[in-house]
Structure 1
């Protein structure tokens, strides 16, 4: 996985740090158990690939059976308990980032606003397979596709 520098613009840019590689299965399971307080969980459904400045994690949620990782939805689980679906797939997530929106903002705000990032826009233009749409439209569409995600995660918490 290629890592791109994110312009944090003195706290006004995207607060997101992609990892150079996915977190290990053990680390993901440990984290999910700690985050939910549920020692029986297995983190196998998630491939964690980055975090924000608060320690919240972004992951690919392997919910679409038989489909490649790039076609799985991107989810966020924040350090303070916020969680949600950010984008329907990795391609749409690139457009969210291009709009200057990080995963936490896409989950916590109904109408997130950011400052479009030319470097991330160029990256999305080169690699995205979906058409460009505003980040708020992408996030709303992903939440509509997976409406029970937040409730299902909350039900796992102890």
Structure 2
């Protein structure tokens, strides 16, 4: 399993497989999310975070960006648990319109959020999450997840409770 280090830019197998699954948008009734085939480069991550926050002093080392929604909002693994494997890092979303928040407490839980039909943007924007199970994403989660299957709303609520300061800390970086 990959450890989080400054030069670790290899997708975990679950994210690599996610990049090969067609995620149905279904004219807004599906999931608006396009996973990448590789993490965004450190330079691009830092550039984007500086643009997003308006803060030329921040760097993106704490993030591994692995996908985006149609508006350009980004999903990332956040180094909220230093020294732990990539799969144990929280998943966060930073939207194109300033939305920001926790999606899941770890990568396996993120797979269950997707399997339940909820994307990263919806995880952050809405308090209520309607279950719309997706068969191909459920199969992916069943292959890779090491956490039990739970409704997306429970996973999102748990992640927010575990990392309640995340959005506020990001807001403090904004200029």
| TM-score bracket for the superposition, by shorter chain length | over 0.9
What corresponds to 2:128 in structure 1? 111
Unaligned runs of 5+ in 1: none
What are the Cα deviations for residues 68-93 of structure 1, in whole angstroms up to 9, with x where unaligned? 11100000000000100100000000
What are the Cα deviations for residues 121-144 of structure 1, in whole angstroms up to 9, with x where unaligned? 111011100000000000000000
Q: Does 1:130 align with 2:147?
A: yes
Other structure's SS at 2:93 match: strand
Q: Does 1:53 align with 2:70?
A: yes
Unaligned runs of 5+ in 2: 1-15
Other structure's SS at 1:133 match: coil
Superposition pairs for residues 130-149 of structure 1, below 5 Å? Answer: 130-149=147-166
Query: Alpha carbon RMSD of aligned pairs, Å?
Result: 0.8
Instruction: State the TM-score, normalizing by the size of structure 1.
Output: 0.98
How far is the alpha carbon of 1:63 from its aligned partner? 1.7
How far is the alpha carbon of 1:98 from its aligned partner? 0.2
Other structure's SS at 1:58 match: strand
CA distance in 2, matches of 1:27, 1:65: 22
* Count of residues in Structure 1 that have an aligned counterpart in Structure 2: 158
> Which 10-residue stretch deviates more, 7-16 or 146-155?
7-16
Confirm or deny: 8 A CA contact 1:13 1:114 kept in the other structure. no
Instruction: State the TM-score, normalizing by the size of structure 2.
Output: 0.88
Other structure's SS at 1:113 match: coil
Point out 4+ residue stretches in structure 1 off by more than 2 angstroms: none
Confirm or deny: 8 A CA contact 2:101 2:124 kept in the other structure. yes
